[in-house]
Amino acid sequence: MENRDKKILVVDDEESIRNVLHRVLNGEGYDVRMAATGEEALARLAEGPADLVLSDIRMPGMDGMALLSRLAENGHDLSVIMVTSVQDVETAIKAMRLGAVDYIVKPFN
């Protein structure tokens, strides 16, 4: 499977972060979709599945942890990586227990 066949949903309320991730991942050949909120992410997933979700934790409205819980409740079978600017071990553990496959602290290279 080529990267173009792999769909990544980037969820972050910061437009600059979304744009950087879109540029980098699209440059690697991935099909990248973006959402600014947890609610918007659910709408994007209703339009079509993703192979991977990269989600910020702290966002207005439905935050990343609530999104992760909702994805698990709805039986979505996809990998979720949580991204945050706050280094908090308890939050990382909670995210992993909710089904996140990884937890990345911003800024990242």
The string of pLDDT tens digits covering residues 2-38 is 677 899 999 999 999 999 999 999 999 999 999 999 9
In whole angstroms, what is the distance from residue 61 CA to residue 99 CA? 21
Host domain of residue 80 = 3-105
Domain count, the chain: 1
Which strands form 102-105's sheet, in the order they lie side by side?
A: 31-35, 7-11, 52-56, 79-84, 102-105
Residue type, 100: A
| Residue 67, Cβ density class (10 Å: 0-12 exposed, 13-18 middle, ≥19 buried) | buried
Model confidence, pTM: 0.91
The domain that holds 76 is classified in CATH as 3.40.50.2300
